[in-house]
Amino acid sequence: MSIRKIYPYTETVLRQKAQPVEVFDEELQILIDDMVETMRVAPGVGLAAPQVGVSKRVIVVEFGNEDDDSIPKQLYALVNPEIVSQSEETILGIEGCLSVPEFIGEVERAQVVTVRGQDRHGKNVKIRAEGWLARIFQHEIDHINGVLYTDRAEQIWHPDQDEDEMETT
């Protein structure tokens, strides 16, 4: 595994719709492993392949219980993910992005989403996510569709010291 460069928002790969993955080979496994390591070192809670310069529909998400650190984090590696349903109920929340450093913004997202895709071996999976986890999935799936959170943000600003310590997707 190796740490990959995280591309900034100015790179064109972040504005293109990523290509579907059709072959689940060793190259894909290396990409996923590298993305997980890169996300953890950054540190972040999610990362999409375009953020490391690869125009493929691959995301990784690592989510833990905000209220209980004794519960282990859950790692998701999804290939060709798509949101197949979402709640009408939305919530406004603060997001950051590893590709848009030094800024955060308020983004309205669905409170609940159902995500369908494949695991790293090509097996079909379906995940129902709520709250913060739903927000992370929406943020990362936006990335593989060429959309940045700044496109959806109601306002964007430089965080102060306290806000700077929040987790970034």
Report the catalytic residues: 140
3-class DSSP assignment, residue 78: strand
- The 8-class DSSP code of residue 15 comes to G
**Spatial CB neighbours of 158, under 8 Å, sequence gap ≥ 6:** 102, 103
3-class DSSP assignment, residue 28: helix
Q: Per this entry, what is the length of the chain?
A: 169
Count of Cβ atoms closer than 10 Å to residue 65 Cβ: 12
In sequence order, what E strands does 58-123 have?
58-63, 74-86, 90-96, 104-110, 112-118
Selection from 138, 113, 127 nearest residue 46 by Cα = 138
Q: Return the H-helix or E-strand segment holding 47.
A: strand 46-48
Q: Return the H-helix or E-strand segment holding 128.
A: strand 124-130
